[in-house]
Amino acid sequence: MTRSICMQVLPGAWLALVVLLAWGAPGIAAERCDAVPAQYAALANPEPPLEKRRLRYWRKQFKAKCARCHGAAGDGGGEEAGRQAAPPVAFTDAAFMDNCTDGQLFYQIAFGGEDKSAMPAFGPESDQGWSEQKVWQMVAFIRRFAE
Ligand code: HEC
């Protein structure tokens, strides 16, 4: 008797959870991208598409600088992801990526996250000191995860 109730209730509960997660993730992402100042949001990526022969370089950069939080596959599953108050999103999630313009992604990588976020800044004025060109190219690289 108990067993048959479980069998009936559980699939419904799982389905509800999956639906909730699927709806929630793009919501969070849209909020974060919406918070980016409009003058950045409107910027288009000025860099030409990434050259195939340079992909190895970008994979290495991502692995060295981003993967511990964002996951080596860009799925948000890095070993430090669980420790974050506001977890990183999955770049593999097309619904999320479609909610963000290149300019919004650029801003978040160049200037980092809000006050309590662990998301570091990588732009020219940060400790990492990447050129704007390098940040734009990283934007192009993370877009590949959802393709
Ligand atoms: C120490 C952990 C950490 C590292 C390292 C890190 N990030 Fe993040 N990142 C986060 C967290 C946490 C968020 C979400 C919270 C926020 O946006 O403030 C985030 C957010 C982002 C976002 C905005 C999308 C979103 O989830 O809101 C982008 C784009 C991003 N990171 C790119 C990168 C790239 C590219 C690198 C490497 C060059 C990198 N991050 C390195 C933790 C990290």
Which range in 24-28, 87-91, 138-142 is most confidently predicted, on average pLDDT? 138-142
Does ligand 1 lie within 6 Å of residue 117's CB atom? Answer: yes
37 phi, psi to nearest 5 deg: -55, 140
Ligand 1 atom 22, closest CA: 108
Please give the DSSP secondary-structure letter assigned to residue 49. P
Residue nearest to atom 8 of ligand 1 (CA): 119
Per the CB < 8 A criterion, the answer to whether 43 and 103 are in contact is yes
Q: Report which residue type is found at 70.
A: H
Percent of the chain topping pLDDT 90: 63
What are 20-51's pLDDT values in tens digits?
455 455 556 667 888 999 999 999 999 999 99
Q: Which residues of 36-60 are buried (b: 16+ CB within 10 A; e: fewer)?
A: beeebbebebebeebeeeeeeebee
Q: Is the pLDDT of residue 2 over 80?
A: no
What atom in ligand 1 is closest to the CA of residue 89? 26
* High-pLDDT (> 70) share of the chain, %: 80
Per-residue pLDDT at 11: 63
CA distance 141 to 136: 9
Higher-confidence residue of 21 and 74: namely 74
Mean pLDDT of the chain: 86
pLDDT of residue 87: 86
Q: Give the pLDDT score at 135.
A: 98
Ramachandran angles phi, psi of 51, nearest 5°: -75, 135
CA 119–ligand 1 middle distance (angstroms)? 4
The answer, yes or no, to whether residue 140 has pLDDT greater than 90, is yes
Residue 129 pLDDT class (50, 70, 90 cuts): very high
Which is nearest to 142 in space by CA: 84, 96, 82, 86? 96
SS3 state of residue 89:
coil
The rounded distance, in Å, linking the Cα atoms of 107 and 40 is 7
Q: How far, CA to CA in Å, does 16 sit from each of 2, 12, 21, 72?
A: 21, 6, 9, 29
Domain locations along the chain: 2-146
Q: Is 36 in the pocket of ligand 1 (CB under 6 A)?
A: no
Calculate the alpha carbon distances from 126 to 73, 123, 129, 131 in Å: 25, 5, 5, 10
Per residue in 94-125, pLDDT (tens digit) is 998 999 999 999 999 999 988 778 899 999 99
